[in-house]
Structure 1
Amino acid sequence: MRLTLRQQIQAALFAIIIAGLSQLTIPLGLVPLTGQTFAIGLAVTFLGTRTGTMAILIYLLLGLIGLPVFAGFSSGIGVLFGPTGGYLVGFIFNGLVTGSLLSFKSNNYRWAIIANIAGALATLAFGTVWLKWSTGMDWSAAFSGGFVLFILPGIIKAVAAAVLGIFLRNRLAHKLALR
């Protein structure tokens, strides 16, 4: 994945945005509701698949090396292998799914909403499986506590990310040389 210097800077800036929005948390048991998924969808919708996914990878790398960028100012490999680690890894799949779907109709609001919802569901699916394996929960508990609980907030954040991402990209694309 070769990016121009401009794309690398954009990815780094969005990694910071993801880190900032990650701190917006509402505790809901083992898995908190955060602004991360909104930021992930916004990054990919605004920057495109390659640059948006690079922003996600930078964000994850910053957290893995010890910078407190994950939700609740947490960091480290322990977070990755904990109950919420699957959602973090799922962000990569979110970026790839959202970006791949957006490649068909990148400026269509309805399609962007569908793409972001699909990406959010990919994150939830991966995170739920990880939650089950990391905690030893049964499938029913993992599904209700790690997937069902987050569907409505996930859809709301996906819609917001899609609408804001397309709006900003249409307004700023020529100034930022996006895509």
Structure 2
Amino acid sequence: MENKSHLYQMVYIGVVTAVICILAPLSIPIGLVPISFTNLAIYFAVYILGMKKSVLSCILYILIGFIGVPVFSQFTGGPAKLLGPTGGYIIGFIFMALVSGFFIDRFFDKWYLCFTGMVLGTIVCYILGTIWLSYQANLSISSALGVGVIPFIPGDLIKIVIATFIGPLIRKQLMKSNMFFNY
């Protein structure tokens, strides 16, 4: 029975990673940093997989993109994308899943703490991305914030609200059907 459980977990990780890979390239170019659905997919990944497995899913997504599969925003991939101006945000997704997952796993029944965890995870992603964008594009931190963070705050808050209310419904259904493996 334990092998079956591990198989289900691997399948879930694979499916969630595939969903991230499908949603992430869908983006709206608005300048140096496009609006993407990657963070929404990661918020849902945390609700579906829990913290540890969603971090693994993010790492797999990044590795898939690193080897050249066009899974990053605007259907790009390869090492150049990770080393380019938006690479810090991509790496930041790992920490977004870690911080968001910490809150969601521990405070699942308190929506406001889950919301707070996703906001904090997004802020960590913003910090890493802004520092890297500033370095790569030779911008001041305030200019990098103006290009890579400020325009995205309203949309990201909407994504967090969506995940705050839909994510628990998904997790509850998985728990109800004994298909949520949080270990």
Give the shorter-chain TM-score range.
Answer: over 0.9
In structure 2, list runs of 5 or more residues that go unmatched.
none
TM-score w.r.t. the length of structure 1 is 0.93
CA distance in 1, matches of 2:142, 2:100: 27
1:44 positional shift: 0.9
CA distance in 1, matches of 2:51, 2:29: 30
Q: Give the number of equivalent residue pairs.
A: 177
1:14 positional shift: 0.7
State, as a whole percentage, how many aligned pairs show the same letter: 33
What's 1:87 paired with? 89
What's 1:133 paired with? 135
RMSD: 1.5
What's 1:177 paired with? 180
Q: How does 1:72-83 map to 2 (within 5 A)?
A: 72-83=74-85
In structure 1, list runs of 5 or more residues that go unmatched.
none
**Equivalent residue for 1:12, pick from 11, 14, 17:** 14
TM-score w.r.t. the length of structure 2 is 0.91
What's 1:118 paired with? 120
SS in 2 for 1:4: helix
Larger Rg: 2
SS in 1 for 2:149: helix
Residues 56 and 92 of structure 1 are in contact (CA less than 8 Å); yes or no, is this contact kept in structure 2? yes
Aligned partner letter, 1:22 = A
Query: Once structures 1 and 2 are overlaid, which stretch shifts more, 83-92 or 137-146?
Result: 137-146
CA distance in 1, matches of 2:92, 2:83: 13
Residues 45 and 162 of structure 1 are in contact (CA less than 8 Å); yes or no, is this contact kept in structure 2? no
